[in-house]
Amino acid sequence: MLLSWPLIQYVLTAAVRDRIVLALLLVVAVGASLSLFLGSAALIEDQVFALVFSAGGLRFAAVAGLVLFVVFHMRRSFDSKDVDYLLSRPISRTGFLVSHAVAFSVLAVAVAAVVGGTLMAMVPAAIGAGHALWVFSLAVELIIVVNVALFFSMVLPGAAAGTLAVFGFYVLARIIGQLLGIANKAFLGDDLSILGILMNAISVVIPRLDLMAQTTWLVYGTENSSIGYGFVALQGLVFTGLVLVAGLVDLRRRQF
């Protein structure tokens, strides 16, 4: 069985029991209020300032909250032998991994919807096509991040190590575009040719999160953007599938 609906419900119930939903709602409310307060101090374009400021802050808060929940939930499940119990039931290891990935992805989409709804409520007059693409790309970004967190939480033995690994991956994915630009600059000489090759190789397995959820979409729309729904969806499918395959290989090699 590829999916276990009781297991999906169990994970989502754990999210509610750990009060991650309440904590994220509180962070969203505080972040939106702070953004509106700081935006009121701007001399011009106060609503745009509040929108851009809150978008960046809530994006990071959503990533941090989901990563912490996924890593600590999985490590707690391993330490308390819940994983051993679940795998002793009529559920395959593939079903175990896919069910957790689906549950975490549903949670990621819900968080992205809350963040997007908050931004739209803050500046309803500025709602446009750019907001829809921003929320969609944020949802895909969060899905990628939670599945990466699922992988590292199973591979690494400690919650702290898993959390740091996910944050390191996220930072690298956010700056990979700048690193590629620096490494491929011709005027820097041939000394960086090896670094350029290395960075290009790394970029194959690192998603371009720097191209996702761009704040310019919230202000100027998507008319002049080369990024669309197809690129965002394809990147999410490719890297989520890659991470799940790697996690499944590791899970099948484990002895319980």
pLDDT tens, residue by residue, 61-100 = 889 889 989 999 888 888 888 777 777 777 888 888 899 9
For residue 165, the model assigns a pLDDT of 93
Q: How is residue 218 written in tokens?
A: 């919230």
Burial of residue 152 (CB within 10 Å: 0-12, 13-18, 19+) is buried
Amino acid at 160: A
Tell me the DSSP string of 93-114: HHHHHHHHHHHHHHHHHHHHHH
d(CA 24, CA 61): 8
The whole-number average pLDDT for the span 181-197 is 61
In contact, 159 and 80? CB cutoff 8 Å: no
45-59, 111-125, 193-207 — which one is most confidently predicted on average?
A: 111-125
Q: Which of 78, 60, 90 is nearest to 150 (CA)?
A: 78
Asked if residue 39 has pLDDT above 60, the reply is: no
pLDDT digits (tens, 9 = 90+) for 235-252: 899 999 999 998 888 888
For residue 168, the model assigns a pLDDT of 92
Q: Which is more confident, 154 or 221?
A: 154
Number of domains in the chain: 1
Asked if residue 123 has pLDDT above 90, the reply is: no
d(CA 19, CA 70): 13
For residue 191, the model assigns a pLDDT of 53
The CA-based dihedral angle spanning residues 242, 247, 252, 255, taken in that order and rounded to the nearest 10 degrees:
160
The whole-number average pLDDT for the span 190-211 is 72
For residue 201, the model assigns a pLDDT of 73
Q: Which is more confident, 204 or 162?
A: 162
pLDDT grade, residue 255 (50/70/90)? Answer: low
For residue 184, the model assigns a pLDDT of 66
d(CA 253, CA 245): 13
pLDDT grade, residue 43 (50/70/90)? Answer: very low
pLDDT, mean over the chain: 81
Query: Given CA atoms 190, 204, 165, 179 in this order, what sign does their dihedral have?
Result: positive
Domain assignment of residue 113, given as a range: 5-253
Amino acid at 31: G
Q: Which of 59, 76, 252 is nearest to 170 (CA)?
A: 59
Burial of residue 190 (CB within 10 Å: 0-12, 13-18, 19+) is exposed
pLDDT grade, residue 178 (50/70/90)? Answer: confident
Give the CA angle between residues 173, 178, 184 to the nearest 5°: 120
% of the chain exceeding 70 in pLDDT: 84
